[in-house]
Structure 1
Amino acid sequence: MGVSLKGIKDNARKASVEELNARLADGIALALAIKQAHWNVKGPNFIAVHELFDQIRARVDLQNDTMAERVQQLDGVAIGTADEIAKASSLPAYPTDLTKSADHLREIAGLLRAHGEKIRNAIDVTDDAGDADTADIFTGVSRDLDKDLWFVESHLE
């Protein structure tokens, strides 16, 4: 197995690109679900929840951008078109008939939890493959997702 121009073994690079694109698909699907919730939320604490969804969406967008740019750094191709995301995301589809604040909060919490679990697995996959830098990116994403999950679940207490 050769070493790429980036000093990472080819098998590590391939494993990282695959894992990054898989988590990018989920991240984009999550971002779209959060925007769906943001547009349609109603009820108690409307403005707080509405603004929270915007803040989380902004963080998820940055995470997605970081993952896509890492794919490029590893000489891969970041996959982010709507049709490819619809096929590739492992997250459950977001319901489009919700309006109540608590319903949106529960759904978004479930998606954050599911995405976080897959991100934590990606840390191990990329670290085991020999790409500590990509594992570090996933670690940062995991920390942010855990914090956002805490924010969302706090509204459900």
Structure 2
Amino acid sequence: MPSRNDLHDNAKRTSIEVLDGVLADSIDLYNMTRHAHWNVKGPHFASLHQLFETFYAQLATDIDELAERLVTLGGTAMGVSQSIPGRTRLPPYPAGIRQGQAHLENLLQRYALVAGNLRAGVEATDEAGDADTADLLTGLSRNIDKAVWMMEATAETA
């Protein structure tokens, strides 16, 4: 889509591609986190239920930022559920788990993958000359890193 944003075309193309991948991953991760929130059971139910809610609330804000930046650069934010399976880079979430420790382990694995994808995106968009997208992704990376830290700390006692 045409845009009056004065970034060079290569920077826009690179950023749109990176943002599209991170958006798909983030929507998938949001849905996985909601699933864990709804289905967690066990002795740490209350704390994990609340923790997962905190994570998906942050993801909802981050997803909006990603989508808006993508559209700002002239891309299309593909957020419908039918578009996610073919674009996400995350492994499927096991639907049948219930215990808190299993949810923590599965979410940790996926959050760590998203963290790595965000860092790669920071590097790619910065090298392409889009400091604003690199800055946005850096902020989102901090949010995911904090969630990883909180889950790792919780897993020690869960």
**TMscore range, shorter length:** over 0.9
| Secondary structure in 2 matching 1:155 | helix
CA shift, 1:5, in A, is 2.1
Identity %: 39
CA shift, 1:61, in A, is 1.0
Partner of 2:149: 150
Partner of 1:78: 77
- RMSD across aligned C-alpha pairs, in angstroms? 0.8
Write the letter of the residue equivalent to 1:123: V
> TM-score, normalization: structure 1?
0.96
Residues 60-115 of structure 1: CA deviation (Å, up to 9, x unaligned):
11111100000111111111111110110000100001000000011111111010
Number of matched pairs: 154
Partner of 2:96: 97
Structure 1 unaligned blocks of 5 or more: none
Write the letter of the residue equivalent to 1:124: E
Write the letter of the residue equivalent to 1:146: D
> TM-score, normalization: structure 2?
0.95
Structure 2 unaligned blocks of 5 or more: none
Q: Equivalents in 2 of 1:123, 1:113: separation in Å?
A: 15
Report runs of 4+ in structure 1 exceeding 6 Å deviation.
none
Partner of 1:45: 44
Q: Equivalents in 2 of 1:85, 1:130: separation in Å?
A: 28
Write the letter of the residue equivalent to 2:17: E
